[in-house]
Structures are given as C-alpha cells and as structure tokens.
C-alpha cells in the first residue's frame, strides 16, 4: 500500500511539473504563425527519450508522456488555407487522437523508417528502367554516328630504328639500319645484305653472313671485301624506294669498277664464301695448254677471250665487257660453277685455241670441242645466251646440282623426275670439285661414253650377253648402256641445305644414293658404304630390272624371267619388287597360293598408274608371307583375257583363294584404292589359308621367332615318340607333316 501511495504521489508531482512547463512553451497559435512564416527551429522537433532531463526533471520509462504534434500548413497562392488542406488537417488530428499516449517513441520511429524504406524500394525498378532506357538511347546515337561519320585510321607512331646485328658482329659488318646503302671506301669489293628486321629468313641468315665475313677476314686480311647490311623494309628509306623488294633477304656484290652481281644460291655460309671468292677472281689467265687441260678436268664449259694487253689500253672495252658478263653470270648458283671464264694474251697460244683475231671469244667443252665462236664486236646478250644454252646441255649430260635456294616453289626436281630415271646422290658437305663430286663425275663420263657413229666395229654376241649382266661391278661402264632404255640422269643434293627432302628419303644422317624411275615405280638405293663399285652395281641393277621385269618405254610386256645371277643383288642395293607381270592368267587362277591380281589399263591409263604405288606397298607389306600369297599385274591392253575377266572399269583388283578353285573376290569400286584398304580386304576373306595369313600378319619379329622355337621343340618331341612307338604312328606322322608345313611358312 505504501508503494502504491508513493507512486500516485510521484505521478501527481510529474503532472504538476509538466503543467508548469507547458505554460513556458509557446501556444499553438504562436507555433502556427512560425510554420506559416516557414521558420521552424530544430529544437522544437526534438523528441526526448526516456530518462532524459526535461526542465530539470527526469522522466522514467513507466511514466506517461504527452506528445503534441503541430502539423504544417501550406499557403495558397492568395496566402489563405484551402478547404482540402483543412480536411487533411482534421484527418491527421483524428489519427493523432487515436494514438495511445503511452506508445513507445522508439517503436514509432522504427515504423516510420520502415515506411520510408518501402517507398524507396518501390522506386528502384523505376530508376533501373530509366537507366536502361537512357543507355539504349546513348548506344543508338553512338552507333548512328559511327555509321555516318567516317572513322579515321589508327596511326601508331613509328619507333626508332634499331641495329639488326649484334655488337660483336658489327665489328665486321656495318649495319645501316637507317635504310642508307653504303659501299666500300677503300677500292675493294662491297658485299651488301638487304634485310628486313621482321623476316625470319633474314634473322636465320644473319649468323651465316657473319660467319662468311669472319672466314674471309682471316683469309684475305686487309684485302677482305667490305661487308654491309641495310634495312630495306622501312618505307621511308632510300633502299625501299629504290628496290621495293618483295622477299627478304637479298644479297648483292659490287667491285670498285661498278660491276654488280646478285646472289641466287643457298643461304649457307659455305656457298656464300665460294661465291665471293669466285667474284674476286672472275677471270683465269691461261699461260699454256696444260692450264687448259687441268681446267677441263673439273669444268664442263670454258669461255676464252683473246685480249692483248697494251699500255695505254685500247679504246675497245672487250675485257671490261667480258668481266661484266662473268659477274652477271656467276650468281652463286652451284650449277654456274661448271663454267669458267678465261683470258689468253699470247698470240701463239690463242692460235692453238682457234682465236685468230683479238677480242674474239670461243666456247669450249670439257672434251675440248669447239662449241661456238663470237668475233670482235660481240654483244653481251648474245654471248650470255650461248653460255646459258651450252651450260644446260652440259647439265643434262653431266651432274646437276639441286638449288631450291631462294627460288620459292621451284619445279627443278619435279622436271628432272618427269623426264625419266634419275640417280640422286645425297651428301654433305657438297662443293663443286671435291672428292665425292670427282668420283661421280668419273662414273658419269664412263656412262655417257659411247662409240662414234662413223666408226665401224665388230659386235661379239658372247661379249654382249656377258656384258649385259656383268657380275664384277668394278668393270667400267663405257659403251655398256648406250642403247638401253631408261637412261639415267644424275643430280647431287646437299643434305644440309635440303634437309626436308633428305629426311624424306632417309638421307638426313648419312650419305645415300637413290636410283628412281617415277614412271615404273622403281626405287633402289645405297647407304653408308658408298664407293665407285657400289654405284656401278646400282646402275647395272637399275637397267637390268627395267629391261627384264617391268614395262619398257616401248610398252612391251616382257614375261620371260631375267637370267641375272642372284649374287648381283648385293646387300648395298635395295630389294627388288615383289610384283610380277604375267600374260597367262590361267596359271594364276590354278595356283595353290592366295593371288592378288591387279588388272591395269596400261601405262597411258591414268587411273591404273595412280593405283600402282599402293599396290606395291601392299606387296611389300606381305613380303614375309610370300609362301602364302603372290601379287601379280596384268596389262589388259597387251593381254587377251577370258570372257569372265572382261571388266567394265579399270583398274580392277581380284583376290583368288587356294582353298577351292574358282573362288574369288573383287575389290569393291566404292572403296578408295590405297594400301591399307587393300590389305584389310585381303585379310578379311574367309578360309583356312586366309586364317594362316592373318596369323602370320599379326605375329612378326620376336613373336614369329618364339613360335618357330616352340614348333621345333614339339616336332623334336614328336619324332622321339615316333622312334619309340612305330605301330600307332599315322596320326603322329600327320601332325609331324603339319609342323613341317608351318615351319616352311614361318621361315
């Protein structure tokens, strides 16, 4: 009871204090006047929390707080209040009356904040929609402007030119990376490289160029040529405006007299060094006939000028023109090294060379035969054309060097193979006049030596037959194949320069000689032990096979087997073909083996010619199963076939079985003719003999050796059993015959 009385007294005291405070507060009329004037103090809107002092008193949580809210009034344009404003004011007063006096102030503030947040959340989609619409409009405007207004190209500032060669390389090579062309100032020959800093070939050739400069510096000392390099890719440079090159690098040389030569050889240091040395001494002076004989041993064409040296020199510049011609022709191609330019100054010696007048020029072959004569007043162009013509003739008769070099998409090798049989000699390093070249050159001279047509000779048939299949490969080739078909042409290839081609033939690691006949699909080769005797043996075997086993150039089918001794096929020479040409198909159909027969339309039938190569590959694939399968070829244009073998389309491949006579399968026309399809077609045929063929095809190498060993052991045990028990030996003897048959197939 006492506590309740105390509470009631405290409430009365608080109410009296509030009344006193209310007297001090402004009246509602005063507040309205303040709001109407638009000036409201922030202190008038402060809401005091519980336990906050108010005019010196402390309000507790359980005490009732009376809150008076004064709504703001809006003025009309005339300065008075409208009826709608009065209605809103009355509604707000009614709502305020409904609010209980003891409602928590903090809860009310939280509720108001939530209402504001809900209003803000409702506005978010509207804001996003407006942003998207604005972005779409901006994008459309920019797009339209981009389509209508012409765009300017982006031009990047060109960076400063940089040196192309390394610092240690610039000690021997003057790098004009600014695009200027600089020549020697010391009356020596100038060698200038025109490069592009972005060309991969130029970057690769940079070290080779430095190697040549370094080696020539050691060789010539102070008389070494001037080596320069110019950036010819810069569009603002003098070099680009003058030459406008399409391919890089380019190399040119110029002597002190202004005679120039452009390099057209392989981008290798050894070839470049030989070219520069040759240009430094373009002419060779003949002092005697011995000099001419020595030069004829190593060169195929000699160009000789008769010039009498006088002091002062004559006005006729034949020597100068002759030197210009030599500079122009010697372009670094290995095939140009077969030509040598000479000069005769003695009248008596010139008369021996049929040079009767001064300034005359003669062309002489390596056999010292006079080919052409150009008299005084000759023109450089006419003499140059004759040199090119006779050089090509010498190339066809002697040895040609493969020079793909800078000639992109060259057809030199394809043209050589298209003309007929070719003997390719892969070696490295290759240079004109070295020991390997001299060895092959001697063989070629023997091979090309034939009796003169005007001479009368007595032919001995016995000697002719003996020479046809000569076992001794050391015997000379003179007059051996003068009338033979498929005459060989000879080509030497540097394996280091043409590494991709050498890898294709397997000659990238060691020297190799290959005899190729592209028309008849014959390829024979020699590896490692390359001697004169082995090359001669390869040439003889090439002609023997071409004349006796394959179609000759006269399209004649030769079915008689060659009587070549078996020991002529030495280990150094490649294996012969496993396909034989036949004219009697009845023998093949009655054979006890599997026969794969290809019916060809002849050498002029393109579809048949394209199928020869895969057919050879299939025959080579089954070479270890020759006891079970044979491969044959029939030329329909030269052979009379029975009616059941008259095919509508050629080529046609027929597979016969040894299990039953007359059983055969024809290769489907919808299948592509390649060696994998043919091999699968043969192996998929039904029958016992095809099962054995499948086993032998899957079991090779170590598997076949193990199988042979097991069969031999079982055969030995079976023979021991037969020696002990002879009475019941029929089945054992049959099994022994089976083992013998399997051993013959495996071996």
HEC secondary structure over 486-525: CCCEEEEEECCCCHHHHHHHCCCCCCEEEEEECCCCEEEE
Q: Please name which of 597, 594, 493, 485 lies closest in space to residue 548, comparing C-alpha atoms.
A: 485
Neighbours of 528 (CB within 10 A): 9
Q: Please name which of 335, 260, 247 lies closest in space to residue 299, comparing C-alpha atoms.
A: 335
Per-residue HEC secondary structure of 522-578 comes to EEEEEECCCCHHHHHHHHHHHHHHHHHCCCCCCCCCCCCCCCCCHHHCCCCCCCCCC
Strand partners, 57: 54
Largest distance between two CA atoms of the chain? 168
**Rounded mean pLDDT for each run of 10 residues along the chain, 747 residues in total:** 49 50 46 43 44 44 46 44 62 57 65 67 77 87 66 50 89 91 86 91 92 92 91 86 87 90 91 93 91 90 88 71 92 91 91 87 91 89 93 88 69 81 88 86 86 48 44 69 77 88 84 80 78 86 56 31 38 56 72 85 79 87 84 80 72 80 77 86 84 80 76 79 67 74 70
Q: Any idea what DSSP says for residue 587?
A: H
Cβ pair 613, 521 in contact under 8 A: yes
Q: Which two tokens stand for residue 463?
A: 């000697």
What pLDDT does residue 147 have?
Answer: 57
Cβ pair 323, 266 in contact under 8 A: no
Cβ pair 527, 575 in contact under 8 A: no
What pLDDT does residue 1 have?
Answer: 46
| H or E segment to which residue 655 belongs | strand 652-656
pTM over 0.85? The answer is no
What pLDDT does residue 306 have?
Answer: 92
What pLDDT does residue 83 have?
Answer: 58
Cβ pair 425, 436 in contact under 8 A: yes
**Dist CA 596 CA 652 (whole Å):** 10
Instruction: Dump pLDDT digits (tens) for 168-203.
Output: 999 999 999 888 889 988 878 999 999 998 888 899
| H or E segment to which residue 598 belongs | strand 594-600
- For the chain, the domains span 2-111, 169-280, 282-405, 434-451+467-577, 579-698, 702-746
CA dihedral of 714, 718, 719, 720, whole degrees rounded to 10: 100
702-724 vs 730-746: helix crossing angle, rounded to 10:
160
Q: Would you say domain 579-698 falls under CATH 3.40.30.10?
A: yes
CATH superfamily of 282-405: Glutaredoxin (3.40.30.10)
Domains 282-405 and 579-698 share a fold: yes
Strand partners, 303: 341, 363
What pLDDT does residue 228 have?
Answer: 95
**Dist CA 526 CA 537 (whole Å):** 10
**Dist CA 267 CA 168 (whole Å):** 21
Domain 169-280: give its CATH code: 3.40.30.10
Q: Please name which of 326, 212, 341, 327 lies closest in space to residue 262, comparing C-alpha atoms.
A: 327
**Dist CA 77 CA 52 (whole Å):** 42
């Amino acid at each position: 009871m006492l506590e309740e009385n105390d509470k009631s007294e405290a409430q009365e005291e608080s109410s009296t204090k509030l009344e006193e405070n209310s007297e001090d507060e402004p009246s509602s009329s005063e507040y309205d006047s303040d709001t109407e004037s638009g000036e409201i103090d922030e202190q008038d809107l402060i809401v005091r929390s519980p336990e906050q002092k108010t005019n010196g008193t402390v309000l507790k949580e359980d005490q009732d707080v009376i809150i008076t809210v004064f709504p703001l009034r809006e003025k009309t344009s005339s300065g008075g209040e409208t009826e709608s404003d009065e209605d809103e004011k009355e509604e707000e007063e009614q709502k305020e009356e409904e609010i209980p006096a003891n409602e928590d102030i903090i809860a009310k503030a939280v509720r108001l904040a939530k209402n504001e947040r809900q209003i803000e959340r409702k506005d978010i989609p509207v804001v996003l929609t407006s942003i998207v619409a604005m972005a779409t409009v901006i994008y459309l405007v920019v797009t339209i402007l981009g389509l209508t207004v012409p765009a300017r190209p982006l031009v990047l500032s060109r960076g400063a030119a940089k040196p192309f060669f390394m610092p240690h390389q610039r000690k021997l090579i003057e790098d004009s990376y600014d695009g200027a062309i600089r020549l020697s100032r010391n009356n020596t020959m100038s060698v200038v490289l025109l490069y592009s800093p972005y060309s991969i070939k130029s970057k690769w050739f940079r070290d080779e160029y430095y190697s040549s400069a370094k080696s020539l510096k050691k060789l010539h000392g102070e008389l070494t040529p001037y080596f320069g390099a110019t950036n010819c890719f810069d569009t603002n440079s003098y070099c680009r405006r003058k030459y406008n090159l399409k391919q890089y690098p380019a190399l040119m040389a110029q002597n002190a007299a202004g005679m120039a030569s452009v390099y057209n050889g392989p981008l290798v240091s050894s070839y470049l060094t030989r070219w520069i040395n040759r240009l430094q001494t373009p002419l060779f002076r003949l002092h005697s006939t011995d000099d001419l004989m020595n030069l004829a041993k190593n060169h195929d064409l000699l160009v000789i000028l008769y010039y009498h040296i006088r002091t002062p020199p004559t006005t006729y510049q034949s020597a100068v023109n002759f030197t210009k011609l030599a500079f122009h022709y010697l372009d670094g191609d290995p095939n140009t090294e077969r030509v040598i330019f000479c000069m005769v100054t003695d009248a008596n010696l010139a008369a021996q060379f049929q040079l009767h007048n001064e300034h005359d020029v003669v062309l002489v072959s390596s056999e010292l035969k006079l080919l052409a004569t150009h008299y005084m007043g000759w023109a450089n162009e006419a003499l140059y054309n004759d040199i090119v013509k006779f050089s090509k003739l010498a190339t066809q008769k002697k040895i040609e060097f493969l020079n793909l070099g800078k000639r992109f998409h060259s057809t030199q090798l394809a043209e050589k193979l298209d003309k007929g049989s070719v003997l390719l000699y892969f070696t490295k390093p290759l240079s004109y006049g070295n020991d390997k070249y001299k060895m092959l050159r001697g063989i070629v001279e023997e091979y090309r030596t034939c009796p003169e047509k005007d001479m009368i000779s007595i032919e001995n048939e016995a000697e002719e037959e003996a020479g046809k299949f000569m076992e001794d490969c050391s015997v000379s080739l003179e007059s051996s194949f003068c009338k033979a078909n498929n005459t060989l042409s000879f080509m030497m290839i540097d394996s280091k320069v043409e590494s991709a081609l050498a890898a294709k033939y397997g000659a990238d690691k060691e020297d190799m000689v290959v005899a190729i006949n592209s028309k008849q699909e014959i390829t024979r080769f020699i590896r490692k032990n390359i001697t004169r005797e082995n090359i001669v043996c390869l040439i003889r075997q090439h002609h023997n096979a071409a004349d006796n086993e394959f179609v000759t150039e006269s399209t004649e089918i030769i079915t008689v087997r060659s009587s070549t001794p078996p020991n002529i096929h030495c280990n150094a020479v490649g294996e012969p073909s496993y396909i034989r040409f036949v004219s009697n198909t009845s023998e093949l159909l009655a054979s006890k083996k599997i026969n794969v027969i290809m019916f060809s339309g002849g050498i002029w039938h393109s579809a048949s010619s394209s199928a020869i190569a895969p057919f050879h590959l299939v025959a080579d694939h089954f070479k270890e199963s020759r006891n079970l399968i044979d491969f044959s070829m029939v030329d329909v244009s030269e052979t009379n076939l029975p009616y059941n073998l008259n095919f509508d389309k050629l080529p046609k491949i027929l597979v016969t079985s040894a299990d039953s006579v007359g059983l055969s399968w024809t290769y489907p026309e919808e299948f592509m003719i390649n060696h994998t399809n043919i091999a699968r077609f043969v192996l998929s045929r039904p029958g016992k003999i095809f099962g054995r063929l499948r086993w032998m095809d899957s079991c090779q190498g170590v598997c076949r050796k193990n199988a042979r060993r097991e069969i031999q052991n079982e055969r030995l045990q079976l023979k021991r059993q037969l020696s002990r028990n002879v009475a019941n030996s029929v089945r054992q003897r049959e099994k022994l015959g089976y083992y013998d048959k399997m051993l013959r197939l495996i071996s």
